[in-house]
Amino acid sequence: MSGPALHLAVEIDGEGAHPAAWRRAAHSPDQLLTPRRVARVAAVAENAGFTLITLDDGVLPPGAPPDPVGRIGAVERAAFVAASTSTIGIAPVIPVTYAEPFHVSSQLASLDHISVGRAGWVVTEENRPDAARVWGRPLVADATARARESRDGVEVVRALWDSWEDDAVIRSVATSRYLDRERLHFIDFTGETYAVKGPAIVPRPPQGQLVVLGRPDRVPAAQLDVALVEGRDLTAVTTAAAAAGTPRVFAEVEVALDTPDATAEQRVADLERHAPWTDRGRLRHIGTAEQLVALLMELSGSVDGVRLHPLVLDEDLPVLARLVLPALVERRLLARPLPGTSLRSTLGLGRPANRFAAAAALEETR
């Protein structure tokens, strides 16, 4: 763990964690897929002091009628948010079960340039069979095969980020030299199902390597900067955090809070009339803001951060911003990102050396 301060992330996809959250949203359904909506939610999270926002995604629609079934791609939303924020980290969810790692690498490197070093990547899997048909790819049917694709995908993406050394770009108008070809490298990756040679088509990201988040039971811990751990109770979360083996650990917590208009239990019951709140095996808090503060204080002894999944963004995010995060600041427990810092710096992670430059320097010393 990095210290006593706690980093808070929040998932802002859709209307909230509950599939029927749109029924309690503060706007009409047609406003969901608009730039103004995304920017407004991101601004509330940034002003409140969250370290990171994440944006869920997948090639298939997130729900079925009558619930909203559309979403804008996470990378596109992240790029838009990056241009309208200044301190908060931004991590789109991108599965590499079927997506080409070369393109994922380029998208994420571009996002890090746009955000000036505030980008991350949440690695997940496409586990629905229909996803293969949408991609036009053979089905990756079992968990072992999906884990292989995630492992290889992360390895390729990380290698491509290093395929440009930091000073590969020259941009000398006087000499008409714009690139140092000696500082671009082929990665020569060969996996079980594909090969990638490289180099990338986007210069090395400002952070060198973006912050990579994921579940350590799905992606090797050595490939992750932040493990996302789950458990239905504190004991399970603590056990998972201790076994993660990653530089940083975030707990996954679903939250439904009391609001001025209704208790958390009433709000959950109202939505449960329309659809069940899917049990994903995560710790779930249904109650007051004060009780959530106490829970987060207890979690701070076991994890470096918490990713919150609000029941309904329009109802729970204002309570988080007004009551929960200020209470953590008062107790000197919240780590707020500072202007001009990268996401890696905010999380206390060093900027990795370029693997090719480091190898060349080592060779010169021999």
pLDDT for the residue 131 = 92
Measured in whole angstroms, the distance separating CA 154 from the mean position of its chain's CA atoms is 14
pLDDT per residue as tens digits for the range 85-130: 999 999 999 999 999 999 999 999 999 999 999 999 999 999 999 9
Q: What is the per-residue pLDDT for 3?
A: 47
Give 190's DSSP letter.
E
Structure tokens at 164: 């440009």
pLDDT at 214: 98
The whole-model pTM stands at 0.94
What's the CA gap between 211 and 118, in Å, rounded?
9
The overall longest dimension of the chain from CA atoms, in Å, is 70
The average pLDDT across 11-23 equals 95
What is the band of 341 on the pLDDT scale with cuts at 50, 70, 90? very high
> Which two three-digit tokens encode residue 52?
């990171």
pLDDT recorded at residue 60: 87
The pLDDT-based confidence of 152 (bands split at 50, 70, 90) is very high
- C-alpha closest to that of 199 among 181, 223, 176: 181
DSSP 278-312: ---S-EEEEE-HHHHHHHHHHHTTT-SEEEEEESS
The one-letter code for the residue type at 240 is: A
Do residues 101 and 160 make contact, with C-beta atoms less than 8 angstroms apart? Answer: yes
Q: Mean of the pLDDT values across residues 1-7?
A: 67
- H and E: helices and strands count for the chain: 12, 13
- Please count the other Cβ atoms lying within 10 Å of the Cβ belonging to residue 123: 24
Tens-place pLDDT, residues 284-300: 999 999 999 999 999 99
State residue 12's pLDDT score.
Answer: 97
Q: What is the pLDDT of residues 186-199, one digit of tens each?
A: 999 999 999 999 89
Report, as an integer, the average pLDDT of 163-167: 95
For residue 2, name the pLDDT band (cuts at 50, 70, 90).
very low
pLDDT for 1: 42
The pLDDT score that the predictor gives to residue 366 is 66
* Distance separating alpha carbons of residues 261 and 93, to the nearest angstrom: 33
- Of residues 258, 257, 260, 240, the one with CA closest to residue 249: 240
Cβ within 8 Å of residue 147, ≥6 positions away? 125, 218, 219
pLDDT confidence band for 4 (50 / 70 / 90): low
Q: Who has greater pLDDT, 172 or 88?
A: 88
Residue 175's pLDDT is 82
Provide the pLDDT for residue 64: 78
Residues in Cβ contact with 322 at an 8 Å cutoff, skipping those fewer than 6 apart: none
Buried-exposed string 17-42: b where 16+ CB fall within 10 A, e elsewhere:
bbbbbbbbbeeeeeebeeeebbbebb
Q: Which of 19, 78, 15 is nearest to 316 (CA)?
A: 15
Which residues have CB under 8 Å from 173's CB, separation 6+? none
Contact 194, 157 (CB under 8 A): no
| pLDDT score for 178 | 85
Contact by Cβ (8 Å): 128, 146: no
Closest CA to 25 of 267, 278, 258: 267
Among 183, 304, 178, which residue's Cα sits nearest to residue 244?
304
| Partners of residue 351 on adjacent β-strands | none
Contact (CB, 8 A) for 20 and 278 = no
Give CA–CA dist 325/149, Å, rounded: 37
The overall average pLDDT reported for the chain is 94
Q: What is the per-residue pLDDT across 217-270, written as a single tens digit (0 to 9) for each? A: 999 999 999 999 999 999 999 999 999 999 999 999 999 999 999 999 999 999
Question: How far apart, in whole angstroms, are the C-alpha atoms of residue 17 and residue 304?
Answer: 22
Instruction: Give residue-wise pLDDT tens across range 46-56.
Output: 999 999 999 99
